Structure 1
Amino acid sequence: MDIESRDPGMDPSVGSPAQSSRKPRLFIKEMVLRNFKSYAGEQRPGPFHGMRLNKVAELIHHSSNHQNLESAGVSVHFQEIIYLDDGTYKAVEGSDFVITRVAFRDNSSKYYINDRGSNFTDVTKKLKAKGVDLYKNRFLILQEVEYILEDDPKCNFGICLEFLNEKRTAVVQMVKLAENERDGLEELDTDMRTCKEQFKEFERQDVKYREDLKHLKQKIKEIENKLEKEYEKSSNLIPNLEQEIPKVQQLLMDEEKILEELKESSKDETERHRSELMVVRVELEPWENQLIGHEGKLDVACAESELLKEKMGIALF
């Protein structure tokens, strides 16, 4: 594909086949694709007529052998050529340059000129300096018609009309594609509004859950403090009770010994001492019951403490 390079300083009449030299024309030397659509790796394909997509990320190649590629790139190699009288052409030395666009997975893209980082504005200026206006792309039609008339002055009107009709069809297709993209954007706008409303609702729920979590943490802290105090109280009481047990047990043993001695001397004395022994046992029973009760409370407090710690861990996660 070649594109005429316009020079404001040149006379439009210059470039007749009869002359020995002609104006340089911008020529697409080749296109290099990397991970582009159905082309894995680096490919140099033929001409494209158009493609349909909603996001630039859709240009990235994806197949069973090449998954999760991060980017796709297209490099267009330009050079200026001069047509010769014999119908061939020669390249203008030093006129080569390469424009590359790389599309990424996040739908962003970058431009490069001769492998150096650039942007769309600089690319536009670069091509416009060569007579290619990306905003007013009717230059393709006008330049091709001019070239037909320039190259063959006897060109009949039918050929020109056929060519223009082809270009008109291409423009109509581009308009339809633009309309489809517009409809797609409207649908995306609706989806975006829906997502925004859902996000607001999620934010409201998030605030509520954070407040609930705050209250739950405070309640857990209060229960932990209460359990800690009860545990401390029980821990202090148990040693005291344990210290009393040997004394009471010793007292019981002494009384039992006395009882046995008295049994030998007198049944009445035995009965009397048996009654005294029962009294001692009755006095001992509350101490034993308190010990059992406090040991049970201690076990319950330890179990509740472990359960609350597990609940707090689940709530925090």
Structure 2
Amino acid sequence: MKRWLGLAVAVVLSLFFLLTPAVAESDPVPAAANRLSRSGAPPPAAGVIHARSALHPEALINDGSFENGPPPASAWTEATNGTCEWIGDFLGVWGVAAHDGDFDFWAGGYCGGAPTSSSVTQANIPVTATDNELRFWILSYRPDDDDADPDQAYVQVNGTTVWTYDLIQDNDTYPNWVEQIVDLSAWAGQNVTLKFGANSAGDETGNIRFDFIQMEPGQGPPMHTVTSSVGTPSGTIVPPSQTVAHGATATFTLTPAAGYEIDGVGGTCPAGTLAGNVYTTGAITADCEVVANFRPEAGPGPSVLAIPTLAPVGGALLGLALAGLGLGVLRRRRGA
């Protein structure tokens, strides 16, 4: 009896261990998921995506389309305050593919249920005298409510912020990618460090994706037209107009008509200096006009009454006449 009882216990214990799954200490913990919203709700239907403009792959910076994939293959150094990966293929989460290729960089958003701040950085990006216009594409979306603390995307060059974008619902571009342009001519001739990222400051946050980062030929500084005219006649000012770069000056030559002189320079341009008949404006920041004024030349001042003079011969004759007159007066007195 005891033999059969022991056999039964052994069978029951064997079945227990066979049916109970073993728990291994090395089992990985599932990674937190990238989310667009705190609730993890899916985005709305993507709808119609606007056609892209012509792409110029030759202008892409190194791995500018993030097609190397996440680190360590990526040319970008990634930083985040969570455990999620932010370089990847996010079509399944967003319902919208990358602007170019399969991968892009997603900043902001939630890692699990926590708002995230993240960035990507790359050094030694050449900015030349001609190729100094940074172009990139963004897709922004905030399904959660705006909050009081500002959540903001940014671009930095050598630590200097050159572009910002508030992650608020009014700035949503979803489902469209939108191109952004930043003038980097101030860094022409240098190799710079570019940084793209977003800071999530509140309890809720927005989302932004970056893709297709290029360095294109720059358009240069804005140009302004400076015109000239004559206010009070008479004279001329040349040239009649000229185009100058933002912050530069313009120079004009004033020529009074005969009998006139320069009476100052006015107009709407920043005040400048008049040296002789050459006028140079102040720094031009918008279209403006230079007005030349002239006035009649001033006449001679009050004259001193001229006293006539006599030539030497006339003086001698006058002296003889006066002497004769005096002699006659003397004789009359003696005769008296």
Structure 2 length-normalised TM: 0.17
Greater helix content: 1
Normalized per residue, which structure has more strand? 2
TM (norm. structure 1) is: 0.18
